[in-house]
Structure 1
Amino acid sequence: MLKKIDKSAQYLAQNIDLLRCPLCHTSFTLAGYALICENRHTYNISKKGVVNFLTIKPDTTHYTRKMFEPRRQLIQAGMYAPVLSEMQSMLTPGNLLDVGSGEGSFLELLDVAGHKFGFDIALDGVNMATELTDMQAFFSLSDLTNLPFADQSMATVLNIFTPSNYREFDRVLAHGGQVMKVIPDRYYLQELRSAFGLPIDYDNGAVLAKFAENFPDLTHKEIKYEFALPKHLQQDFLSMSPLEWQISKADKLEIAKQPPETATIHVKILQGKKS
């Protein structure tokens, strides 16, 4: 089996024309384990197979392995299977970019006739993504406002529960390409919100309006169902979301005595196409 660094180097060698330097926007060449642009800006592939394109420190304190591991367990257990099935039906051939890819499970579970790319600002997330050894993809630490991908290099941009930058999405999308954005709807994870003493209703109006502003001809699909949490994953459910940051450790210990047994998945999948 190839080392992670070699696997990434091979993947980049095949797709070098899909990247650009985030500092000067020129093209890269690959020299050993380093990406070098025309102006000699250099980015090294880490032993984990990740390239750090950030000009700031990556996030190592908020979105950590402690949160990503429970999330991975629940995704792999099928918590989002109906959502992913609908997204799969909407995919078109071509390169796929997962924005804010976290630990990589969403990208792993989608099949596409093209190359896969994911990025995040969370160091633990991208490092965990490279542990999904059966997936052929390249992961990086990158800035949403200045993506290291070439103009018109992607057929689909995935935006699953993460912030957007529509200027950059438009730049990297090929003509006829699409953005698929998944946003929480009113009752998303209401059991978790209820357990934590937070308002159950979620208002996605501002996010939806911003998407519609950029894609006036958008289509959307609402999906709502209950997922029965396996007994061994009910504690993981309490740790999978940033919502837990809003409660004390003592309160969480009390909630853990009787964790939720179901999770409501209520989302909208927004689809916008570049004209």
Structure 2
Amino acid sequence: SRVMNPAPTKSALLDAGCGEGSHLHLLRSMLSKRDRFTMIGADIAKEGIHIAAAGEDIIWTVADLTRLPFRDSTIDVILNILSPANYPEFDRLLSRDGMVIKVIPGKDYLGELRQALCPQKEYSGERVADYFSEHLLSAETHDVRYTFPVEADLLPDIIAMTPLMWGVAKGDALPDIPAITVDLKILVGKRKTAGAR
């Protein structure tokens, strides 16, 4: 919510690739009543949107990022959290001074899980960040990093929520991982043609 402070008070905010809507629900609860954001969550997964649609004054839609069902230049803020991006579509949707807030994994994101399950694979978000900068004027970058303890009985569920589980066969013994690191980069960008519309 701090990153979005410069947004106009009557703004349309789209979470593109919202999944089950947890980020948008949290953001709605953090913004004061005076912040007049029309909040929209879009995801291609019907199941996620069905879960997201419970409660609150948020608009939910099943949609593909390649062709979002909104008019040109109508969205002021696009959130894109740990999800693929479609920058030509984002450019079409963004208002004249609109912004994209993209969250990507840092190099140590879920490092303990990756080390235990796929030790040969290192992650770098540099290509994703470079691609972001190719399409948008990079305005800000913020790093978020913390470690949280993991109870052993919750570890299978945490692993199942990540693509890391795709390489693990059912029945494989899971490693003992007492804590997991969250390492994220928040990229904030504006349209390269800002002010042109």
What range is the shorter-chain TM-score in? 0.7 to 0.9
Once the 2 structures are TM-superposed, how far is the Cα of residue 166 of structure 1 from its aligned partner? 0.9
Distance 1:106 1:152 in 2: 23
Whether the 8 Å CA contact 1:101–1:118 is kept in 2: the answer is: yes
Match of 1:238 among 139, 151, 159: 159
Aligned residue for 1:245, secondary structure, equals helix
Letter of the aligned partner of 2:69 in structure 1?
P
Q: Do 1:225 and 1:266's aligned partners in 2 also have CA atoms closer than 8 Å? A: yes
Q: Which amino acid aligns with 2:97?
A: G
In the alignment, the residues of structure 2 paired with residue 259 and residue 130 of structure 1 have an alpha-carbon distance, to the nearest angstrom, of: 36
CA distance in 2, matches of 1:227, 1:248: 26
2:23 is paired with a residue whose SS is: helix
Q: Is the partner of 1:110 in helix, strand or coil?
A: helix
The one-letter code sitting in structure 2 at the alignment partner of 1:119 is: A
Q: Which runs of 4+ in 1 moved over 4 A?
A: none
Aligned match of 2:136: 215
1:124 to 47, 52, 63: 47
Partner of 1:90: 3
Equivalent position SS for 2:137: coil
1:57 aligned partner: none
Cα distance in 2 for partners of 1:211, 1:126 equals 26
Q: Distance in 2 between matches of 1:106 and 1:259?
A: 28
Contact between 1:193 and 1:200, CA under 8 Å: does it hold in 2?
A: yes
Q: Residues 190 and 200 of structure 1 are in contact (CA less than 8 Å); yes or no, is this contact kept in structure 2? A: no
Counterpart mapping for 1:180-195 below 5 A? 180-195=101-116
Contact 1:234 1:261 in 2 (8 A): no
* Residue pair 1:99, 1:159 contacting (<8 A) in 2 also: yes
Provide structure 2 residue ranges, at least 5 long, that are not aligned to the other structure.
none
After superposition, residues 70-89 of structure 1 pair within 5 angstroms as 88-89=1-2
Q: How does 1:137-152 map to 2 (within 5 A)?
A: 137-152=58-73
Q: 1:232 Cα shift?
A: 5.3
- Normalized per residue, which structure has more helix? 1
State which structure, 1 or 2, has the greater radius of gyration over its C-alpha atoms. 1
* Distance in 1, Cα, partners of 2:3 & 2:90: 18
Query: Aligned equivalents of 1:239 and 1:261: distance in 2?
Result: 17
1:273 equivalent in structure 2? 190
Normalising by the residue count of structure 1, what TM-score does the alignment of the two structures yield? 0.62
Identify the structure with bigger relative contact order (alpha carbons < 8 Å, sequence gap 6+). Answer: 2
Given candidates 99, 110, 130, the residue that maps to 2:16 is: 99
Structure 2 equivalent of residue 33 of structure 1: none
Q: Is the 8 A contact 2:13 2:78 kept in 1?
A: yes
Is the alpha carbon distance of 1:199 and 1:137 closer, same or farther for their aligned partners in structure 2, counting shifts above 3 Å?
farther
1:124 shift after superposition? 1.3
**Does the 8 A contact of 1:238 with 1:259 survive in 2?**
no
How far the C-alpha of 1:120 sits from its partner, in A, is 1.1
Question: In 2 relative to 1, CA 213–102 (structure 1 residues): closer, same or farther, beyond 3 Å?
Answer: same
| Residue among 244, 252, 262 paired with 2:179 | 262
**Alpha-carbon spacing, 1:166–1:197, altered in 2? closer, same or farther (3 Å):** closer
- 2:48 and 2:177 map into 1 onto residues whose CA distance is 26
